[in-house]
Structure 1
Amino acid sequence: MNERTPTAPDRDQEGDRAALLIIDMVNCFDFAGAEAVRPRALEAAKAIARFRKQMEQRGWPVIYVNDNFGEWHSERSKLVERALEHDNPVTAFLRPDDDDFFIIKPQFSGFYSTNLPVLLPKLGVTKLVLTGIATDICVLFTAADAHMRDYKLWVPANAVAAETDERGRWALEIMANSMGAETAKTDDLSLDDWIAHIDRDR
């Protein structure tokens, strides 16, 4: 595996770009409740893999935001390698490309004690598409921190997964009603249309 690390500009960039955040999908699924979330995560992975092509067409960043799962000496290649050892179609669908950024987080939010708050301005990002697992935990906490930093949010309902459909629904409702997040499925809304909708509302 190529270990070249993508580099961000030295200074914050002017711009109005979106970034795709893929949360905790490099995963061994060896946690409590994993058997329930795994099939939902696989469906979400397929949707994310399709959607990321729209990001790539614009040249906009894809950022993996991944838990260290208590392995404090771990890093990108080890996390990916360990996940793929478990005959894991979720991670196989979403194996990071060389040009993707990879943020390792110690807690639920992708912003907590990570360099994500520094990276996003350097990439000229003002909008975030949040995907991954779990809708009601790490996606929700990351969305809350993003909202407090004034990022526009899209959390596609078909690109996130929770242990139960009910928990996923109430988390999406919170993000929509309290954080102004778009939650339409990627099958129902394109990246271009979402951007156009944001621009019209300014």
Structure 2
Amino acid sequence: MTDAEINKKAPGEAALLIIDMMTDLDFPGGKEMLPGVRSAAHAIAGLITDCRDAGVPIVYVNDNYGQWHSERSRLIERVEGTRAQEVVDLLRPRDDDFFVVKPQFSGFYATNLPVLLPKLGARRLILTGISTDICVLFTAADAHMREYDLWVPADCVASQDEQRTRWALDIMANSMNAETKRAADLKLRDWIR
């Protein structure tokens, strides 16, 4: 990535991170997650529209599923025709969206995210995706340690069950000072002011 690819700084110093939503849900508990993932995907889709309208950069942060030669197109091809096809169709990244491939739970671990976010001028992150109690939580913890302000909309995340989602949201709210109001209840324009 060169500076020439980044034309302006992020409005409200914000960036939207979409974590692990390009998925086939082919893992233990994935089938059970599908209803929650679908619901979160619809809320994320609305937030994507708001971010595009406001000029807030969108960064997909996605697991490599152990495919070490993987990149954006291969990861998306991998999930075509799976139980999560509706989610992929709803949230498919555009060419001008950023895409970070991660090898582990946190979006910051062994990725270019710590370099990209300052280039975008982002100091405030909106974290969405799956799983709330693993990858979203670990990314939030790393972001908090780097002093990012956080909004984790409760309707834009999903886990294997609602109890785990609530538990992780409580940790992020109480230990990381994250805002956890639903995207349906807190408008992007109000959060980026």
TM-score interval w.r.t. the shorter chain?
over 0.9
Q: CA deviation at 1:10?
A: 6.2
1:15-58 deviation per Cα after TM superposition (whole angstroms, max 9, x unaligned): 65210000000001110110111110111000000111111112
- The question of 1:140 aligning with 2:137 is answered yes
After TM superposition, list the pairs within 5 Å mapping 1:36-185 onto structure 2: 36-86=32-82, 88-185=85-182
Match of 1:199? none
Whichever residue aligns with residue 137 of structure 1, its letter is: I
Q: TM-score, normalised by structure 1?
A: 0.90
Q: CA deviation at 1:195?
A: 2.5
* Residues 40/14 of structure 1: CA separation in 2 closer, same or farther (3 Å cut): closer
Equivalenced residue count is 190
Whichever residue aligns with residue 129 of structure 1, its letter is: I
Match of 1:9? 3
Whichever residue aligns with residue 119 of structure 1, its letter is: L
Tell me which moved more, 43-52 or 84-93: 84-93
Assess if the C-alpha contact under 8 Å between 1:10 and 1:122 holds in 2.
no
Q: CA RMSD, aligned part only?
A: 1.7
* Residues 56/31 of structure 1: CA separation in 2 closer, same or farther (3 Å cut): same
Q: TM-score, normalised by structure 2?
A: 0.94
Assess if the C-alpha contact under 8 Å between 1:157 and 1:172 holds in 2.
yes
Whichever residue aligns with residue 33 of structure 1, its letter is: G
Runs of 4+ more than 3 Å apart: 10-16
> Gapped runs of 5+ residues in structure 2?
none
Seq. identity, %: 58
> Gapped runs of 5+ residues in structure 1?
1-6, 197-202
* Residues 14/186 of structure 1: CA separation in 2 closer, same or farther (3 Å cut): closer
1:55-96 deviation per Cα after TM superposition (whole angstroms, max 9, x unaligned): 111212100000000011111101111112325111111011
Q: CA deviation at 1:189?
A: 0.5
* Residues 58/71 of structure 1: CA separation in 2 closer, same or farther (3 Å cut): same
Assess if the C-alpha contact under 8 Å between 2:13 and 2:192 holds in 1.
no
Tell me which moved more, 7-16 or 73-82: 7-16
- For residues 65 and 126 of structure 2, the distance between their equivalents in structure 1, rounded to whole angstroms, comes to 23
Whichever residue aligns with residue 29 of structure 1, its letter is: L
